[in-house]
Amino acid sequence: MEVKTVGVACDHAGYPLKQFVLQYLEEKGYPVKDYGTWSDAPVDYPDFGHALAKGIESGEVYPGIGICGSGEGIAITLNKHQGVRAGLCWIPEIAHLIRQHNDANVLVMPGRFIDNNMARQIMDEFFTASFEGGRHQKRVDKIAIK
């Protein structure tokens, strides 16, 4: 995957994992745009998910990483945007498949259910897997509502 600037967003439940994600991205040398939140004080995940999604749609960032407690709330929010294909991953194999088959441009992780080691494995897979195209391209083309 060709990385432009990685957009990162989370809610309070995802904040601890986001701190690890930022460290990982720095180690890999990826530029980052942090859409928040910036503490573990309670916030609403849609506020940060929409900001990340707008960054993806505008081309300001590619790809993105979203984190909330279960991962579901921020994934639902991200996927309301036409230019976003966010996939929730809790094991590396799913991260591989969302890139390979769905051309996912946002990785979503459940902050309350995975540890840093699993997050590292998931991100390694997400950043190294490639979209296969072919039979998958026609499916991806059908996702956006026109």
Q: State yes or no: pLDDT of 146 exceeds 80.
A: no
What Rg do the C-alpha atoms of the chain give, in angstroms?
A: 14
Kindly state the average pLDDT of the residues 116-142.
Answer: 95
Name the more confident of 7 and 144.
7
Name the more confident of 1 and 37.
37
Q: Would you place residue 64 in the very low, low, confident or very high pLDDT band (cuts 50, 70, 90)?
A: very high
pLDDT in tens, 17-42: 999 999 999 999 999 999 999 999 99
Give the active site residue among 12, 50, 89, 101: 101
Active site residue 101: yes
Kindly state the average pLDDT of the residues 65-81.
Answer: 98
| pTM over cut 0.95 | yes
Give the active site residue among 10, 68, 81, 89: 68
Q: State yes or no: pLDDT of 45 exceeds 90.
A: yes
Give CA separation, 120 vs 22, 23, 29, 31, 45, in Å: 11, 10, 15, 17, 22
pLDDT at 137: 94
Q: Would you place residue 145 in the very low, low, confident or very high pLDDT band (cuts 50, 70, 90)?
A: confident
Q: What percent of the chain lies above the pLDDT cut of 90?
A: 95
78: Cβ contacts below 8 Å, ≥ 6 apart: 49, 52, 53, 64, 66, 84, 86, 106, 108
Distance of alpha carbon 50 from alpha carbon 63, whole angstroms? 14
